[in-house]
Structure 1
Amino acid sequence: MQAPLASRHQLGKNVISYCKSTVISVKILKLTSCTSYARFSVGSVRLTTIKEANSIHTRLIKIGFQSHVSSWNSLLQLYTKSGKLVEARQVFDQMPDRNAVSWNVIISGYVQHEYNDKALKVLVQMQGADVKPNGFTFSSVLRACAGLAALEEGKQIHAVISKVGFGLDVFIGSSLVDMYAKCRQVDDAQQMFDKMPQRSGVSWNALLAGYAHSGYGVQVLKLFCHMQEERMKPTEFTFSIVLMSCSARAALEEGKQLHAIVIKSGIESNVFVGSTLTDMYSKCSSILDAHRLFERMPERNVVSWTAMIAAYAQHQCINEVLQLLKQMQLAHVKLNQFTINSVLSACASPEALDPGKQVHALLIKSGFQSDICVGASLVTMYAKCGCVEGFVKVYETIPEADVVSWNAMIAGYAQNGYGEEALQHFTQMLQAVLMPDFFTFASILKVCANLAILEQGKQVHTHAIKTGASAQHGRGREALLLFEQMQEAGVHPDHITFIGLLSACSHVGFLDEGWKCFDLMSREYGIKPRMEHYSCIVDLLCRGGQLDRAEAFIHSMPLQPSILVWKTLLSACRIYGNMGVGKRVAEYLLHLDPQESTNYILLSNMFAAEGKWDDAARIRKTMNDGRVKKEPGCSWVEVNKSVHAFVTEDRSHEL
């Protein structure tokens, strides 16, 4: 029965009056007419407490809205817009009747807050309730598939869409392009795009993003040119995608042409576009252009500042990084995780220890001392500065260390030549029932190699295989072929790329290829070698038996050699029986760290291998007189899928 128009208006006024009297912020609340009932719709909602939402619910029931689906949908929308999804689901389950809008609201609420798996489950329930999905439903669940990279589910939904005749809708078509693109099926995304009779800016951007994220930089530029030919106006998001593609390929000339189009479009002052342009110039090693652009920006946000700081950090310009950090604080822009990581990476060298300590003090003052990710970054920074005491103290302040934190600690000990401490920490990690990953095993296996402890290395290798984290060594040729494909695709390598290349060459003995990569890094790509790259070259020379050349290379390094570099050479001297170089290196290491037992043991073993027993005994006596203690050996045994660590002469273990 249709309610009188006057009473429907009065009912709506009662709802509006009540909502305005509460402390809940309802920015847009409007009355709309309906032939059979009155309803209200919410444009922007902010709930401060669940109690207030419950008050609205109770009030709606009292004033007679309990029988109308529309009023329940509006309450459901209040909760979903505010992120109160548990309460939204409770309301949804309590609804006496539901229509397609009800199902769409709860599905879109889950998708908006990235509960994509729950959104797909609700779709199945919707079908079971015999409620037909509409265009809004399909758009939401396709976003859920894109977020989960759920290709098979996306294809099934596509089949349903084609069956019910929604495939030609520009909104649904754009969602399908986006779904296929985010599932890295760019061919399918292109086919869907080509079938669309009409395309919106969203359609173009979805396909552009798909090609960019899949590494097809040249195709991104071709598609952008096609977009201009079709007279489709690019948005700031469009420019961001294409510029990021230029950054990945270090395509400076194309980037400059895009910059000109940005200026012509009148959106250079857009903070989002400006930040992307800054990043493009810095990734193309045009740091001065990046800085000029940054200075011209009328408005800067944390992304802009971080992009400029990361640019200087990438080029190891520590003074400029610290100056920008100071200016950022004066501008009252809050730091985020990306800013902190960029600043700390710039401080991660022995000569930047003092600035690194200043940044650490700033982070404590800013309240980041309890952040796990920041703690791990600080551990890495102090480790690369060679400050063992620093990274140990930072690690002790991390409230609940995760695998990343443990890895940073183990790598810190390993990088600074404290192999026994790294092994001890690895044992503690296993006892804490944490699962080591690839990075953990890489550090520990490196320690075992440097300490020449084969049996423990075998145990670690076995454990790595069982956990599925075993590194595939001996694939140097494949690594070089992949690098060639990377160059042909126009993708710009970074310092991490060359660490992988040099490590691969080292493991398979590609001495000439390794040197070529090391030369190419600075000559062709302008990447300044770091300690990790120098360490790889030393390891490469040592594995090739060129120990005199390795010693000369270490002395020629522009950076202060780390203890690990010297230990790598000393281990190689023991393997190849080079007493001349080995003795010089050992004496230098004993001078640097007279309390490190590994140095004494390696030198003693070298003398013993040469039959020089008196010299070996003398080294052992020096070690004992200096009260240098060797850490006890440790073994790992797996019992019932649980790893147990045993230390020599330790009878405290329950087994």
Structure 2
Amino acid sequence: MFGLKSAEFPSPLHVFDEMPLPGSTFPSNNLLHFKLHSRCLVGKVKVAAKSDELSLAHKVFDEMPLSDTFAWNNLIQTHLTSGDLHHVVFTYQQMLLRGVRPDRRTLPRVLAAVSGLSGDLFVGKQVHGQAIKLGFSHDQYMISALLEMYGNLDDIDRAKCLILDKSPSTNAVSWTLLARLYIREGKPSLAIDLFYQMLDSGAEIDSVALATAISAASILKSLKDGRILHQIARQRKLEVNVLVSNSLLKMYIDCGSIEDARATFDRMTSRDIISWTEIIHAYVKKGGYSEGLKLFRRMITNGLKPDPFSISSILPACARITASKQGKEIHGYFLRNRISMNLTVLNALIDMYAKSGCIESASRIFARLKHKDVISWTVMILGYSSHGQGELAVELFREMEKESCMVQIDPLRYAAILRACTTARKTEEGTLYFKQIKAPEVAHFVLMVGLLANAELFDQAMLFIQEHKIKRHAEVLRALLDGCRIHQRANLGKRVAEQLCEQEPLNAENYVLLSNWYAHNAKWDMVDKMKGMIEDMGLKPKKAYSWMELRNKVHVFGTGDVSHPRSAGIYWELECLMKKMEEEEQKPSADYSLHDVDEERECIGVGHSEMLAISFGLISTNSGATIRVTKNHRVCRFCHESAKIISKIVGREIILKDPNRFHHFRDGLCSCSDFW
């Protein structure tokens, strides 16, 4: 066993049978001198172990005419701590061969080593037999070690029957260990059942046992069990324990009850970094970015230093164009306080800057990374693509391919390069990458249709859809529709919109698309029919909104909005800009034939939400400052052309983010090259 031939040393059980019975004395004329000498040798063993010279440690024992259990236990523990599990068992065998009797501390350490050695259940059973013969089998440390060993190498239920059910002295530690084994084996319901059995047996419930049961309820997402366990925690005055309260906090979050989670958090008398991180992460995950940022600031004010996990939890809250200032402030806080930032945090920073419109900052951090993982590459490739820098994204993917021995290129990475090729309009290269995907998913098909349609290769796109039989996927049709919108293929776009109405009869945006097409072609009877269908079906088209942040306040604008306190100045600025466009004969044309917002077709372009937000930014910020605006719908053609012209007139950069990409308007041009 363990790479050694059985002839090299006898069976441990065989050696054990020849040992003196418990209580026998060792034949020594000077036992006190022996013990002092052996303890001196233990010191030498520890020194040798620290210098990684474990062979020297064994030589020390070889020189000893006789040694006691204390010294051997130290050598076993040294091997166990260093992770050298094979030598733990081998040292134990040598200990038996030397006639040294194990004690209550020896066998649990040996079992811990056996537990980590897969497939060595036979050795574990031998050690179990020795424990029984020595009278240690009912010792609590031994029960825990046996449960761990049998749970890892055999069957948990068998371990329970073999050890726990037969032991008259089981306590909370043993019950809890078995419950944890059930959770580890993917049987959380059995862990909760075991906890209730533990209650019925009258065993003492401690914080660890209760936290283990709560974590099982968290895995099951059982709010019912979680609330019962919470009541038990109150009754036994364990709710104030930080381990229990953190477990309750996570349970409520996992069960989707953010209200109960916040109530638990607010009642906590003692909070650690885990408490704050859990509640912050919960708010950010549910879109409560502002509340997540407030809690993060409170955590710092309370004197807690963020760890990598808390940092990576809050950064997604800043990954919005309206929160770029907060993201920069948090990054600055990390740097000023010299907070250690691992690769996970650095990747989150890159993602935050890319999604908040600061692609240059994201690029600088990426370039300084000494080590890059697959997430680093992917986040940066997607960042470049979303900012219209497709060429850089494709170039970066080629660099990643060179590192393929260290970076795994999986379907998610191929989706990133297909998006990059679409942005860069590299049809041939994108097609080659698509062919490398062994099992394409729907997302890959959608990207390929978008790649072909954006390149105005509609015949190839239609053939691709037919060959792969993917017409039933609405996402595929929308990708085709995007190409129709870009190249103003209104008739084909109408047919695609009709197909979308058939596939998604309850999606109001599909009917709005058709309504706008009919309006563009002056078919007002059909426009009225579409409106009637939307009303009769009780559908509510999504309203268009745009917003921007100024001095830590978010200003929201709807189409034709006049509710803002500075509305008069906003509209006056827009009218002045439109007049300049007319004077320079640059006024854009309005085409809403394939637009999915009905209210914007009916409202003059000057009243569109993004135009109001841009105008507000112009009259509210210093000359030369960048204007950052977000819109919940795709920007219309009129506003896109207007923003380009305005950026040239005022000499400012305007960054407009819609659901698909960032538009960087500068000097009369857009980063998307009019493909969006």
Q: TM-score range by the shorter chain?
A: 0.5 to 0.7
User: 1:197 is aligned with what amino acid?
Assistant: S
- Structure 1 residue corresponding to 2:377, chosen from 406, 422, 431: 406
The structure having more radius of gyration, on CA atoms, is 2
Distance 2:383 2:183 in 1: 35
User: 2:352 is aligned with what amino acid?
Assistant: M
Aligned to 1:121: 87
Q: Does structure 1 conserve the Cα–Cα contact (< 8 Å) formed by 2:164 and 2:174?
A: no
Aligned to 1:70: 39
Aligned to 2:179: 208
User: 1:124 is aligned with what amino acid?
Assistant: F
User: 2:291 is aligned with what amino acid?
Assistant: E
Q: Does structure 2 conserve the Cα–Cα contact (< 8 Å) formed by 1:413 and 1:422?
A: yes
Deviates more, 1:68-77 or 1:373-382: 68-77
Render the CA deviation track for 1:561-589: whole Å, top value 9, x for unaligned: 9xxxxxxxxxxxxxxxxx97599999689
Aligned to 1:429: 400
1:320 corresponds to 2:291: yes
Distance 1:628 1:105 in 2: 67
Aligned to 1:552: 509
Q: Does structure 1 conserve the Cα–Cα contact (< 8 Å) formed by 2:176 and 2:209?
A: yes
Distance 2:154 2:323 in 1: 41
Q: Does structure 1 conserve the Cα–Cα contact (< 8 Å) formed by 2:249 and 2:261?
A: yes
How far the C-alpha of 1:629 sits from its partner, in A, is: 13
- Structure 1 residue corresponding to 2:419, chosen from 447, 458, 476: 447
Distance 1:189 1:127 in 2: 25
Q: Does structure 1 conserve the Cα–Cα contact (< 8 Å) formed by 2:393 and 2:420?
A: no
How far the C-alpha of 1:226 sits from its partner, in A, is: 0.6
Distance 2:672 2:329 in 1: 35
Distance 2:163 2:543 in 1: 54
Render the CA deviation track for 1:113-146: whole Å, top value 9, x for unaligned: xx43x12334235436745784544422443455
Distance 1:277 1:349 in 2: 31
Mapping for residues 141-180 of structure 1, pairs under 5 Å: 141-144=110-113, 146=115, 148=116, 150-153=117-120, 155-166=121-132, 168-170=137-139, 171-180=141-150
Q: Does structure 1 conserve the Cα–Cα contact (< 8 Å) formed by 2:86 and 2:113?
A: yes
How far the C-alpha of 1:442 sits from its partner, in A, is: 4.2
Aligned to 2:625: none
How far the C-alpha of 1:213 sits from its partner, in A, is: 3.0
Q: Does structure 1 conserve the Cα–Cα contact (< 8 Å) formed by 2:373 and 2:407?
A: no
User: 1:127 is aligned with what amino acid?
Assistant: Q
1:438 corresponds to 2:410: yes
Q: Does structure 1 conserve the Cα–Cα contact (< 8 Å) formed by 2:118 and 2:153?
A: yes
Aligned to 2:359: 388
Q: Does structure 1 conserve the Cα–Cα contact (< 8 Å) formed by 2:308 and 2:342?
A: no
Q: Does structure 2 conserve the Cα–Cα contact (< 8 Å) formed by 1:184 and 1:210?
A: no
Mapping for residues 3-402 of structure 1, pairs under 5 Å: 36-37=31-32, 68-74=37-43, 76=45, 84=50, 86=52, 91=57, 93-95=59-61, 96-97=63-64, 100-112=69-81, 115-116=82-83, 118-124=84-90, 126-127=92-93, 130=97, 134=102, 136-144=105-113, 146=115, 148=116, 150-153=117-120, 155-166=121-132, 168-170=137-139, 171-181=141-151, 186-198=156-168, 199-368=170-339, 371-402=342-373
How far the C-alpha of 1:227 sits from its partner, in A, is: 0.8
How far the C-alpha of 1:169 sits from its partner, in A, is: 3.9
User: 1:447 is aligned with what amino acid?
Assistant: R
Distance 1:540 1:204 in 2: 59
Distance change (3 Å), C-alpha of 1:189 and 1:79: farther
User: 2:89 is aligned with what amino acid?
Assistant: L
> Identity over the aligned pairs, expressed in percent?
22
Q: Does structure 1 conserve the Cα–Cα contact (< 8 Å) formed by 2:147 and 2:163?
A: yes
Distance 2:292 2:637 in 1: 38
Q: Does structure 2 conserve the Cα–Cα contact (< 8 Å) formed by 1:441 and 1:460?
A: no
Distance 1:215 1:541 in 2: 45
Q: Does structure 1 conserve the Cα–Cα contact (< 8 Å) formed by 2:477 and 2:496?
A: no
Distance change (3 Å), C-alpha of 1:627 and 1:283: closer
Q: Does structure 2 conserve the Cα–Cα contact (< 8 Å) formed by 1:372 and 1:399?
A: no
How far the C-alpha of 1:557 sits from its partner, in A, is: 8.3
User: 2:231 is aligned with what amino acid?
Assistant: A
Distance 1:306 1:174 in 2: 32
CA RMSD of aligned residues (A): 4.7
Q: Does structure 1 conserve the Cα–Cα contact (< 8 Å) formed by 2:45 and 2:60?
A: no
Distance 1:456 1:175 in 2: 58
Distance 2:138 2:301 in 1: 50
How far the C-alpha of 1:398 sits from its partner, in A, is: 2.6
Deviates more, 1:581-590 or 1:307-316: 581-590
Aligned to 1:650: none
Distance 1:71 1:471 in 2: 65
SS of 1:298 mapped into structure 2: coil
Deviates more, 1:179-188 or 1:327-336: 179-188
Q: Does structure 1 conserve the Cα–Cα contact (< 8 Å) formed by 2:79 and 2:88?
A: no
Distance 1:375 1:538 in 2: 35
How far the C-alpha of 1:358 sits from its partner, in A, is: 1.9
Aligned to 2:25: none
Higher relative contact order (CA 8 A, sep 6+): 2
Distance 1:358 1:330 in 2: 15
How far the C-alpha of 1:201 sits from its partner, in A, is: 2.1
How far the C-alpha of 1:280 sits from its partner, in A, is: 1.9
Q: Does structure 1 conserve the Cα–Cα contact (< 8 Å) formed by 2:277 and 2:313?
A: yes
Distance 1:383 1:165 in 2: 61
Distance 1:88 1:108 in 2: 12
Render the CA deviation track for 1:616-650: whole Å, top value 9, x for unaligned: xxxxxxxxx989999xxxxxxxxxxxxxxxxxxxx
TM-score by length of 2: 0.57
Distance 1:346 1:93 in 2: 59
SS of 1:335 mapped into structure 2: coil
Distance 2:45 2:245 in 1: 39
TM-score by length of 1: 0.58
Distance 2:638 2:166 in 1: 71
User: 1:247 is aligned with what amino acid?
Assistant: S
User: 1:434 is aligned with what amino acid?
Assistant: M
Q: Does structure 2 conserve the Cα–Cα contact (< 8 Å) formed by 1:475 and 1:508?
A: no
Distance change (3 Å), C-alpha of 1:580 and 1:121: farther
Distance 2:111 2:346 in 1: 38
Distance 1:320 1:581 in 2: 38
Distance 1:551 1:450 in 2: 28
Q: Does structure 1 conserve the Cα–Cα contact (< 8 Å) formed by 2:394 and 2:421?
A: no
Distance 2:130 2:640 in 1: 79
Deviates more, 1:374-383 or 1:180-189: 180-189
Distance change (3 Å), C-alpha of 1:462 and 1:508: closer
For these two proteins, the number of residue pairs brought into alignment is: 459
Q: Does structure 2 conserve the Cα–Cα contact (< 8 Å) formed by 1:76 and 1:106?
A: yes
User: 1:233 is aligned with what amino acid?
Assistant: E
Distance change (3 Å), C-alpha of 1:448 and 1:357: closer
Q: Does structure 2 conserve the Cα–Cα contact (< 8 Å) formed by 1:236 and 1:272?
A: yes
